[in-house]
Structure 1
Amino acid sequence: MRISTLTMYEQSLNSLNRQQGDFLKTGLQISSGRRVVNPSDDPQAASLAVGVAQAKAVDQQFANARVSARNSLSQEESVLSSSADFIVRARTLLVQAGNGTLADADRNAIAQELNGIYQGLLGQANSQDGSGRYLFGGHQDGTPPFVQDADGRVGYVGDDGVKAQQVDSARLMPSVDNGRAIFASAEDADLFGALKDTIDVLNTPVADEAGRENLRTVLASSGKALDKGFDNVLAVRASVGARLNELDVLDVVGSNRMLNYEQVLSDRLDLDYNKAISEYTLRQVGLQAAQKTFVEVQKLSLFDRL
């Protein structure tokens, strides 16, 4: 078989390029810490990495949703706590107002404090989040959900929708309750109506037995409404607390899932440094040998053998 000088040169050059490519590939693996630098290095592992990356991205969206839900629920919990304090104080004042020895001026003073509680509750019911959206209007979060009419009575103008966040693959969690469920139920547990009735009757002079009977009737009715309202606020608050606890659990589950993803990627993609360094040394020796051979071939001519 005839072997030309050009053929010998090409073979030597191909060997040099191959050795150099293998050497550079091993160097890239060491510098990156990854066994799979390019998809062609291990198509199956590269495909798995794409799938895991997509799963991680979805889980990160769930994690972000849990942060958003926790912020909303924490703010709602704070509002419910303040509202419960307002109701407790109002209930105490109603008991005081029922004292038959009080004069009209005394009842007027109680009415003024109750009016402060009334306005305070209204402010809590119209709380906004950090983006300026109203918390308790359902899906109507661009305007205050509770408004006062010309007589000073508060009405709910939001809707009955409940905002929710997809906090995990199988969990759509209500992230905030609407205002009707908290402050303005359809029953006689309406807090604002009870407080307004009480304020009005305490500001009305009691001149006779009919006036005293009306005072007792309103105070009794309002007391029951405040008790129901208080129980309702506590029930919603317990639900909020349960959801916050659930978010903590889901955070742990999500973190463990992320760790599993990282372990899978590490097992399939990460580099065995000891093996890689050994191979790097061998590749370096092979490259040096190929370079030396190529230099010798460049000097060689078949005419030198004739």
Structure 2
Amino acid sequence: MRIATSQMYSQSVSLMSQLTASADKTQTQIATTKLGVTAASDAASYVKLQQIQRATTGDATYKSNITVAQGVLAQTDQTLDSVQTQLQRALELATRAANDTLSDSDRASIGEELSSIRDTLYGLANTKDDIRGQPLFGGATGDTAYVTNADGSISFAGAGEPSGIPVADGETVQPTISGQRVFSTADADMFAIIGNLADALKAGGNVKAAAGTALDGINTSLDQVTLARASIGARGARLDIEADRLTKVAETREETRSGIEDTDIPTAVANLQKTLTVLQATQASFTKLTSVSLFDYLK
């Protein structure tokens, strides 16, 4: 009889310990809203969560890169818009300069304004991005995109194409454009074009030929800037698509993670209540059992 009673005690104590541990675990899951998946508790789910975490970290880097690229592209486009404005004014002045009725004084005045435009374009060509502090139009290397030479001419000081920014696995986007594709190509060096006309106007005399050459060159420069802005716009659209893709992937990934790791609160609360009910009943039975005396067994 003592053996049977001892077994009953052991079973009751073991059951209460299991129920208490289960209740504690469920309460923790409710409090933390997490199931507490570990390699020991659920190896397959644990591996999946680690994969999700790595992918999330990688995509966070890409999202940050996209934000940087979008910011630099926007500044590049804004700067090119200012370049267009200056070139359009230069085109107006070149058209006026071709007018035979202007006096030398008028032409000299136009020449001064063209020189000012050239200086403004030089400043725009050396704009640095607000995010990284790098030259917008400097190419792959160099702290300055354009320099003024000893003879007063302006030349490109960078080298190569701008470095790409990683925005996805195996995908990069150039956030800006080389100045050689905007300000000074083989076909049109806008600094020289505007500078030569300005010098001719200041010198006086017949500048019709110089104005005609300048008009052709400025129009070519405007075409280059238009193409550059189109390229920048296409890259921006590509970044928008990639950003949307990452957002959708993140939403799907979060749903998967939540299904594996997050606590279903209503279900957990219901299970906790059941566990506590069974525990209370077991405790009541154990209390009754321990109060049974030897005389009760002899009856």
Q: Same fold (TM over 0.5)?
A: yes
Match of 2:259 among 244, 267, 283: 267
C-alpha distance in 1, partners of 2:119/2:76?
18
Residues 150-195 of structure 1: CA deviation (Å, up to 9, x unaligned): 332111111122221111224211111111111111x131111111
- Aligned pairs (5 A) from 1:146-295: 146-185=146-185, 187-206=186-205, 212=206, 215-295=207-287
Identity %: 28
Contact 1:183 1:191 in 2 (8 A): yes
Aligned to 1:140: 141
Q: How far apart, in 1, do the equivalents of 2:283 and 2:105 lie? A: 107
Instruction: Render the CA deviation track for 1:249-273: whole Å, top value 9, x for unaligned.
Output: 2222111111111121233333333
Letter in 1 for 2:215: G
CA distance in 1, matches of 2:152, 2:290: 102
**TM-score, with normalisation over the residues of structure 1?**
0.87
| d(CA) in 2 for partners of 1:280, 1:235 | 67
Q: Distance in 1 between matches of 2:293 and 2:62?
A: 70
SS of the aligned residue for 2:175 comes to: strand
Alignment match, 1:31: 31
Whether the 8 Å contact between 2:137 and 2:176 is mirrored in structure 1 is yes
What secondary structure sits across from 2:111 in the alignment?
helix
For residues 240 and 72 of structure 1, what CA distance do their matches in structure 2 show? 10
Instruction: State whether residues 138 and 158 of structure 1, in contact with CA within 8 Å, keep that contact through their aligned partners in structure 2.
Output: yes
User: Following the alignment from structure 2 to structure 1, what is the Cα–Cα distance between the partners of residues 250 and 275?
Assistant: 36
For the residue of structure 2 that corresponds to 1:167, the secondary structure is strand
Residue 103 of structure 1 and its aligned partner are, at CA, apart by 1.9
C-alpha distance in 2 between matches for 1:65 and 1:301: 77
Indicate how the Cα distance of structure 1 residues 114 and 290 shifts in structure 2: closer, same or farther if over 3 A, else same. same
Structure 1 residue 218 displacement after superposition: 2.3
1:209 paired residue number: none
> Which residue is 1:81 aligned to?
81
Aligned to 2:90: 90
Work out the CA distance in 1 between the residues paired with 2:174 and 2:291.
80
Q: CA deviation at 1:12?
A: 3.8
CA contact (8 A) 2:72 2:129 kept: yes
What's the offset of the Cα at 1:205? 2.7
Q: Is the 1:163–1:177 Cα contact (8 Å) retained in structure 2?
A: no
C-alpha contact 1:5 1:301 (8 A) present in aligned 2: no
Q: Any conservation in 1 of the 2:167–2:173 contact (CA below 8 Å)?
A: yes
1:129 aligns with 2:121: no
Q: How many equivalent residue pairs?
A: 296
CA offset at residue 232 of structure 1?
0.5
- Could you tell me which amino acid in structure 2 is paired with residue 182 of structure 1? V
Displacement of 1:8: 5.7
- Paired AA for residue 190 in structure 1: D
TM-score if structure 2 supplies the norm length?
A: 0.89
The DSSP-based 3-state class of the residue aligned with 1:132 is coil
Question: What secondary structure, in the 3-state scheme, does the structure 2 residue paired with 1:176 have?
Answer: coil
Query: What stretches of structure 2 of length at least 5 have no aligned partner?
Result: none
Letter in 1 for 2:188: A
SS at match of 1:30: helix
Between 36-45 and 120-129, report the one with greater CA deviation.
Answer: 36-45
Return the offset for 1:134. Answer: 1.7
Q: Which moved more, 1:132-141 or 1:148-157?
A: 132-141
SS in 2 for 1:166: strand
Paired with 1:227 and 1:160, the residues of 2 have a C-alpha distance of 25
Deviations 1:179-238 (A, max 9, x none): 1111111x13111111111111111132xxxxx2xx333222222221111100000101
| Contact 2:188/2:221 (8 A) holds in 1 | yes
Looking at structure 2, the residues matched to 3 and 218 of structure 1 have their Cα atoms a distance apart, in angstroms, of 118
Contact 2:97 2:208 (8 Å CA) reproduced = no
- The 3-state SS of whatever aligns with 1:3 is helix
1:221 and 1:303 map into 2 onto residues whose CA distance is 124
